[in-house]
A and B are shown apart, each in its own frame.
Chain A
Amino acid sequence: MAAVAAIAALALSACGRSDSSSSASGGTSGFAQNSLIGVALPQKTSENWVLAEGLFNDGLKNAGFKADVEFANGGVSDQQNQISSMVTKGAKVIVVGAIDGSQLGTQLKQAKDAGATVIAYDRLVKNTDAVDYYVAYDNFKVGVLQGQALLDGMKAKKPTGPYNVELFAGSPDDANAKVFWDGAMSILQPKIDDGTLKVVSGQKSFDQAVTQGWKAENAQKRMDTLLAASYNSTTLDGVLSPNDTLARAIITSVKGAGKPVPVVTGQDSEVESVKSIMAGEQYSTINKDTRNLVSQAIDMVKKLQAGQKPDVNDDKSYNNGNKVVPAYLLPPVIVTKANAKDAYANDPTLSKLTQ
C-alpha cells in the first residue's frame, strides 16, 4: 500500500531522468573557464609523480581551473573509484596517468558518457575507445637513447669488446615498459647478435628481464641473484636499466657484492641519480622534464576549454587496440656527466647539483 502511494508520488513528481549528458566530446564546443579538471595519477612511487602533482595543481589553478589531483596508492581499484568520483564531480577533462592502462575502460566510458574529455598522460590507455588524446615523451626514443648510452659508456671505459652486460626492463603491467625495451633492443640486439655484447646470465628476453611494479627491491634482488650466479669471476661491464630508481638499486646491489660499478643507464633525472652521475657512478639518465610534459598537458586542457583542437604531432603510431589515439610526443634528452650542466640549466633543483 505504502509502495503504491510512493510510486504514485514518483510518477506525479515526474522528475525522472534529467537529460544531463551533453553531447560534447572531443572538445569542439569548449567549457567554462572555472571548470573542474581531474588528474588521476598512479601510486606515489617516484619523484616525478610527486612533482607532477604539484605542477598540475599549480598550473591548472593558474589557468583558472579547479584542479582535483589524486594518487591511487591503493592500486587499480582505487584509481577506478577516483575516476568515477571525478565524473560525479563533473570534471570536464580527466587526465589519466594509469596504473594499468588496460583496466580503466568502464570508468573512462563513464567519463565520456558524461561529456568529459580523456587525456592519457605518460602512459597510454588501452582496450577502450574512450580516450581522446595521449601526451608523453617519445618512449621508443627513450629506449634508443638508453641503448646507445650503454654502448657509448662501455666504449669510453674499455675501447674494445666483447662487453658483459645484463638487461633490466620495467614492470610488465606498464605499457611503456615494453616500448623502452624495444627501443633499447633496436640498438643492442644487433650487437648481441654479432658478439660485441654478451649477456652472461642468458636472460635476454623481456619476460626474463621485467621488474614487477617498477620496484627497486625487485631489481636489487634480481641483480643480487645474477651477480651470485654469473659474475663470480667475470667482470660486469654494463647494465641496461629502464629508469633511475632501478639503476640505483642495481648499483647498490653491485656495490654490496663488492664489484666495480658498471655502466648503468637510467631515466627520469631523479635527484639521487643526478647526484650519482655527478659522482661518477650511474652513467646516464634521460631528461624527460616533467615540467614540459605537464605544461603540454595543461596546454591541451586550455585548448579544449577554448573549444579548439589540441596540438598533436603523431596520429598514426599509438593504436591502443581499439583506436589510434592522436598523440603529442615530446623528445627526450640523454644526460651524462658531460652534458648535465647544460641539460639541467633550467631546473632549479637539479642545476644546483651540477655546479
Chain B
Amino acid sequence: MADQPVILQMQSITKEFPGVKALSNVSLSVKAGEIHAICGENGAGKSTLMKVLSGVYPHGSYSGDIVYQGEIQEFKDIRASEHAGIVIIHQELALIPELSIMENIFLGNEPAKRGVIDWKEARRRSIDLMARVGLSEDPDTPVKDIGVGKQQLVEIAKALNKSVRLLILDEPTAALNESDSQHLLDLIRGLKGRGITSIIISHKLNEIEQIADSITIIRDGKSIETLDVKADGVDEDRIIKGMVGRALESRFPDHTPKIGEVLFEARNWTVQHPTVPDRLVCKHSDFFVRKGEIVGFAGLMGAGRTELARSIFGHSYGKFLEGQTFMHGREVKMHTVPQAIDAGLGYVTEDRKTLGLNLLDDIKSTTVAAALKKITKGLVVDMNREYQVAEEYRRSLRTKAPNVDEGVSKLSGGNQQKVVLAKWMFTDPELLILDEPTRGIDVGAKYEIYGIIQRLASQGKGVIVISSELPELLGLSDRIYTIFEGAITGVLDKDEATQENLMKLMTQARKNAAA
C-alpha cells in the first residue's frame, strides 16, 4: 500500500470567509486506489476542504495548490473537476425525485445524437451501471419511489457514468439503516478493487475503522495528522483523541452556578419524523433542567438534538407520539408555539437565517417580535416602548449597530445572535433552549454570548445549550446529556465529563455506554 503513487495532494490550502478562517494550511495526501477517511468535529472544515477540491469554491478563492495526477489543477467550477474525474456525492442527494433512475443517472450528461437523447443507448448503459452498483430495479422507476439507500446507489452509478477516478462521499451513510450502510460500504470496497480512489467523510467511527486505509484528521480548520489504519493500529479511541485532543481554546467567563429545584422535566418524550412514518427522531427521552442550571446536549449532527428541542417547543417539529412535559412539577401541555411561550419556554434556533430571523426586519421590531403583547396597549403597539426596549437590549448585550432601526440583515452573525437572544430574553422565559448559540460567530462574540447565558442562569432561569462544540459544552454546562440516533445515551456531571467519554456516548447506543 505504502508504495502506491499519490493521486491527489492538497498542499497548504487556506480558505477564508470574511471574519472566519475556515481552513488554514491544510494538507491532504491521497494514494491511488485507497479509501481515505477524513475525520473531524462538526465545523472542523471537512466539507469546506471537499468543496475546494471539487471546484465549488473556484480556483482563486483559496490559496494553496491542488496536485491531482501529477498536475496542478485550477478548477473553476464543479464541471471542471468532474471532467478531471473527481466526483463529489453530497450528504443531501442531488437527485430529482420525479425523474426515473435512468434519467437521473444521465442528467446533465445525456447520450445524444445531434441534440436528441438516445434513450436506447441510455437504457443499455444504465442497466450496466446499475449492475455495477448492485441495484436491481427497473431503470424507469422514479427515484422518489426507491429508498434512501438505493438513491445513494443511483448517485454512485451517476458518478461511475462520469468515469470517476476519485470519488468523494460526504456522510454517505448518515441517513441509511444498518444493512443499507453495510451494502454501501461493500460497494465502496468493490470500487476500490476496480481502481477507484475514494475519500469518505463520516461521523460513524466504527465504519471508518472498518473500511478506511488511511485517515486524515482535521480540527479547527487545520490538518492534524494522517494515520495509516493498518500500520498504526488505529481504533475508535485513537481517532476520537485526534479529533478532540487539544487544549480548550475558548475561554469562559467566571461563573458560580446557583442551582435550585427542578424547573422543567420531560418524560418518555417520543416523536416521529414528520414524513417518514416508522422513523423515530426522539426515542423515549427523559431529562430535566433545574433552576439556574445550564444543561448541555451533546450529539453528532443528525443525532436528534434539534428535533428534541423543537418538538418540546410547541410541537414545532415532527409528529408527537407520546410523552409528558412538566414545569415546576406540574404537567403542562404545549401543542403550539404560543402555548410553549406562555408556559415560559424560549427557543433560539440553530439556523438563524432560515428559522430565526426575518431578514427584512430591523433590530427593534425583531427584539419585540415574540412578546408584542407586552408593549401593546389596547390595540396599539407602543412604538416608543419598542424603541426603548430594543435600545435597552442593544446596550446591555452590546450589539454592534448604529441604532435599532438598522436592518438585521446588515449585522454580523454574532450581533444577529444577540438580537435573537434579546428577542427571547424580552419574553422573560423560565427555560431558554439555545440551539448552537455560537455557530458561525467569532471568538470575541462567543465570549460575550457565554456571559449572557451565564447571567441568565444566575437569574434563576434554566438554560439548555445544544452544541456541536464539545469544549463549549464542557466549559458552559453544569450537566451534559448525550444523544445518539434520537435516544439519550447518558448524562454526565460537569466534573466527570471529558471530551473522550462524551464522544464515546455520542457515538454508540446506550447498552455500550458506561454512564
Direct contact of A and B (CB under 8 A): no
Interface residues of A (CB under 8 A from B): none
